[in-house]
């Protein structure tokens, strides 16, 4: 099992050390080969898993301190699904990258980082304890930093990379303390030690219990990694990296690590309903909030970035209502269709010669048909149209939210439904503006539009097929299926005791119809505003002045953060701490002491004049003082 993560590491090492001397073909063969092998191994491991789980311990890691952690890997249905997603989607994206990155400088570095990323991501999902998980957790952050900054020559890309790393690390602050608290509570960081013990804990209900605190601290890490409010700001900027990176890291895998950690810790969360409640609320608000921003963005990748944040919110919310299985289900289908959307967007950008503004596109349907059709499939999956993959997972989440016994389940459901409508609007707008209507591109650019090479379109087609059928393994019962997927996951996840009232099938049917109707309405609105009556959109924008500007500027959150945190930090550190306190006060005091000593010395030097008469005068003065002292002491 350890081969699964190690193979990409080997690929990374080969390409990193000797890639410079290899031709593109060789580099690609190493990188793709490594991922393909580890995908096959993961597949074999999963198929041979059956109902069992496997824990493989390799060697003690930190064993000397008052503290025992091993290098161990853990395979259960949850980590099996995750590693299949990571290696499978990763493989397709690697293949796609061969076409996308050809002609760039330093391709060997790119592939080395991509392989390294997969190594850390697999470590994250396969780890058998929280500390090893942290290794992967920080490692993927590092790779994301390197890959965003891959365009060395772009200053803003490097800025975005740094922002991503630091903002996510802010969340890790809580995560790290959470781990320490876990250790002090359970005396171990091993899943197999912690989870059975956690189940013995009384359910925290007063909100002050240890488990609730652990849950909230872990959530802090998840919020950073999975780009939830208030730490989501790094993800849209992260889109400055190459598009395959956005697809792999910032859509399909790394950002879902937060969801994974919540699902993985489900035995802790079910004992801490207050923490779960917070999880649900954060997820729900993020989903809605990001969707509203997505509507007005004009950069094709940024729209998808906000869409990712919104969909991650869905998953987090699902965890929050105790539907961990549904969350992982959506995680999987989302990995398919969102990777496809990004790769499709990459193909569009490729065709348009680097243009990312959808206002300058249009009418691309005929010119790049493969991209169009696959993109359409992915969009339908995203809005949850029957029978695309997204339908099953999204509907499952909505249904579980509606029936959840957590307080406010109904309200969450309404907001989530609203989000579904908005999702349909923004993705509809994206599709209509990009692929339909008249071409708004410069004639110069328009004449060069061409379909991408096969090495790029084949991964698109495979992902399109997955976006269609990927949800069928979770075919719900009320539609005559048996929901294989969640049953299979069940042993790995804890379920809140009696959290879900058994709903009526007819009600479930009704709600499903409702969510389909909302999605259809959203698409129609997009069609009406952005294709049929463009001027109506402009009028609406003018009429809603303030709100329009608020949304267009993403609620000014970046500006607010800069004003509230970044600026005081920079000013305070430079002016107050460094220049005033450090150089001025502390070092000033040190130098003052030195200066005082010197001037004292200078003053005393004057006494040593070498003049006999003044010496005699001092002697007399001293003698007089002495006598005076003795006289007063005697009396």
Which residues form the interface with another protein (CB under 8 A)? Answer: 16, 20, 59-67, 109, 131, 134-135, 138-139, 142, 145-146, 149, 152-155, 157-159, 161-162, 165-166, 169-170, 172-173, 176-177, 180-181, 183-184, 569-570, 572-574, 577-578, 582-583, 586-587, 590, 594
How far apart are alpha carbons 444 and 448 in whole angstroms? 7
CA 463/CA 482 separation, integer angstroms: 24
| Minimum separation from the CB atom of position 145 to another protein (A) | 7
Q: How far is the CB of 575 from another protein (least distance, A)?
A: 9
Nearer to another protein, 131 or 468 (CB): 131
Identify which of residues 161 and 390 has a Cβ nearer to another protein in the complex. Answer: 161
CB of 413 to another protein, least distance (A): 36
**Cβ closer to another protein: 54 or 169?**
169
By C-beta, is 79 or 210 nearer to another protein? 210
Cβ at position 225, least distance to another protein in Å: 14
**Toward another protein, which CB reaches closer, 59 or 208?**
59
Q: Torsions phi, psi of 104, nearest 5?
A: -80, 160
Nearer to another protein by C-beta: 563 or 578?
578
Largest CA distance in the chain: 120
In the complex with another protein, which residue's Cβ is closer, 194 or 381? 194
**Exposed, middle or buried: residue 363 (CB in 10 Å: 0-12, 13-18, 19+)?**
middle
d(Cα 383, Cα 314) in Å, to the nearest integer? 13
CA distances from 189 to 120, 128, 194, 195, 378 (A): 19, 9, 7, 10, 39
CA–CA distances in Å: residue 115 to residues 5, 73, 337: 10, 19, 22
Asked if 491 and 413 touch (Cβ cutoff 8 Å), the reply is no
| Alpha carbon distance, N-terminus to C-terminus of the chain | 97
Output 172 or 274, the one with its CB closest to another protein. 172
| Residues in CB range of 610: below 8 A, 6 or more apart | none
Structure tokens at 137: 């957790």
Cis bond leading into 387, ω under 30°?
A: yes
Which CB, 134 or 198, lies closer to another protein? 134
**Which helix (H) or strand (E) segment is 73 a member of?**
strand 69-75
Give the residue with the Cβ less far from another protein, 60 or 617: 60
Q: By C-beta, is 231 or 462 nearer to another protein?
A: 231
Q: How far is the CB of 252 from another protein (least distance, A)?
A: 23
∠232-237-242 over CA atoms, to 5°? Answer: 125
Nearest approach, Cβ of residue 170 and another protein (Å):
6
Q: What does the DSSP assignment read for 258-303?
A: HHHHHHHTHHHHTT-HHHHHHHHHHHHHHHHHHHHHHTT--BHHHH
CB of 135 to another protein, least distance (A): 4
What distance in Å separates the CA atoms of residue 278 and residue 376, rounded to the nearest whole number? 35
Residue 152 C-beta: closest distance to another protein, Å: 5
- Find tokens 């912690």 and name the residue: 194
Could you tell me the smallest distance in angstroms from the CB atom of residue 269 to another protein?
Answer: 21
Q: Are 426 and 294 in contact (CB under 8 A)?
A: yes
What SS3 string covers 129-154? Answer: EHHHHHHHHHHHHHHHHHHHCCCCCC
Judged by beta carbon, residue 156 or residue 490, the one nearer another protein is: 156
What distance in Å separates the CA atoms of residue 597 and residue 601, rounded to the nearest whole number?
A: 6
Q: Phi first, then psi: give them for residue 17, nearest 5 degrees.
A: -85, -45
Long-range contacts of 43-51 (CB under 8 A, 24+ apart): 43/84, 45/1, 45/4, 45/75, 45/80, 45/83, 46/75, 46/80, 46/81, 46/83, 46/84, 49/75, 49/76, 49/77, 49/80, 51/491
**CB closer to another protein out of 577 and 620:** 577
| Measured distance CA(396)–CA(215) in Å, rounded | 24
To the nearest whole angstrom, how small is the minimum distance from the Cβ of residue 351 to another protein?
27
CA distances from 519 to 265, 394, 512, 537, 633 (A): 33, 12, 11, 19, 103
Q: Cβ 51 to another protein, closest distance in Å?
A: 32
Q: Which is nearer to another protein, 76 or 172 (CB)?
A: 172
Of 64 and 546, the one with the shorter C-beta distance to another protein is 64
* Nearest Cα residue to 230 out of 568, 573, 564: 564
Q: How far apart are CA 215 and CA 482, in angstroms?
A: 32
Nearest distance in Å: CB 187, another protein: 8
């Amino acid at each position: 099992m350890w081969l699964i993560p190690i193979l990409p590491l080997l690929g990374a090492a080969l390409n990193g050390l000797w890639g410079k001397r290899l031709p593109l073909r060789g580099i690609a063969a190493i990188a793709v080969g490594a991922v393909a092998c580890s995908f096959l191994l993961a597949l074999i491991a999963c198929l041979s898993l059956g109902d069992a789980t496997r824990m493989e311990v390799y060697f003690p890691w930190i064993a000397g301190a008052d503290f025992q952690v091993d290098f161990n890997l853990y395979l259960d249905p949850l980590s099996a699904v995750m590693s299949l997603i990571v290696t499978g989607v990763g493989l397709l994206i690697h293949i796609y990258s061969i076409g996308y990155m050809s002609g760039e400088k330093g391709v060997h570095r790119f592939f080395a980082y991509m392989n390294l990323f997969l190594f850390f991501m697999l470590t994250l999902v396969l780890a058998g304890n929280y500390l090893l998980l942290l290794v992967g957790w920080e490692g993927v952050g590092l790779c994301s930093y390197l890959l965003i900054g891959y365009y060395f020559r772009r200053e803003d890309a490097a800025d975005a990379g740094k922002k991503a790393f630091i903002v996510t690390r802010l969340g890790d602050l809580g995560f790290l303390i959470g781990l320490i608290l876990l250790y002090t509570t359970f005396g171990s960081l091993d899943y197999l030690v912690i989870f059975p013990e956690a189940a013995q804990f009384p359910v925290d209900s007063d909100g002050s219990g240890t488990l609730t605190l652990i849950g909230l601290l872990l959530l802090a890490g998840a919020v950073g990694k999975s780009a939830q409010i208030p730490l989501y700001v790094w993800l849209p900027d992260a889109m400055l990296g190459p598009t395959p990176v956005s697809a792999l890291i910032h859509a399909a895998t790394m950002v879902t690590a937060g969801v994974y950690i919540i699902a993985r810790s489900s035995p802790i969360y079910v004992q801490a309903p207050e923490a779960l409640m917070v999880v649900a609320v954060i997820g729900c608000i993020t989903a809605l909030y990001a969707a509203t921003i997505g509507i007005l963005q004009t950069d094709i990748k940024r729209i998808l970035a906000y869409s990712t944040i919104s969909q991650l919110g869905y998953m987090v919310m699902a965890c929050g209502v105790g539907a961990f299985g549904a969350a992982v289900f959506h995680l999987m289908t989302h990995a398919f269709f969102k990777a496809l959307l990004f790769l499709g967007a990459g193909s569009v950008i490729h065709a348009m010669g680097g243009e990312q503004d959808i206002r300058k596109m249009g009418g691309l349907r005929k010119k790049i048909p493969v991209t169009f059709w696959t993109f359409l499939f992915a969009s339908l999956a995203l809005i949850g149209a029957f029978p695309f993959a997204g339908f099953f997972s999204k509907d499952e989440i909505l249904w579980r939210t509606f029936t959840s016994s957590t307080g406010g389940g109904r309200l969450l459901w309404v907001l989530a439904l609203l989000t579904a409508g908005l999702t349909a609007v923004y993705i509809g707008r994206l599709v209509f503006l990009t692929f339909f209507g008249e071409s708004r591109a410069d004639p110069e650019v328009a004449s060069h539009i061409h379909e991408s090479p096969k090495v790029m379109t084949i991964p698109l087609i495979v992902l399109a097929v997955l976006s269609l059928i990927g949800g069928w393994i979770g075919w719900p019962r009320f539609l005559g299926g048996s929901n294989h997927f969640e049953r299979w996951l069940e042993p790995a996840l804890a379920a809140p005791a009696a959290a879900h009232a058994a709903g009526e099938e007819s009600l479930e049917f009704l709600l499903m119809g409702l969510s389909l109707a909302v999605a259809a309405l959203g698409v129609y609105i997009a069609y009406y505003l952005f294709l049929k009556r463009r001027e109506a959109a402009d009028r609406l924008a003018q009429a809603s002045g303030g709100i329009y500007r608020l949304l267009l500027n993403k609620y000014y959150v970046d500006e607010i953060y800069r004003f509230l945190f970044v600026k005081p930090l920079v000013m305070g550190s430079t002016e107050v701490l460094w220049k005033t306190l450090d150089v001025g006060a502390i070092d000033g005091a040190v130098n003052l002491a030195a200066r005082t000593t010197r001037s004292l010395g200078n003053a005393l030097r004057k006494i040593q004049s070498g003049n006999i008469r003044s010496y005699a005068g001092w002697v007399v003065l001293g003698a007089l003082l002495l006598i005076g002292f003795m006289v007063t002491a005697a009396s």
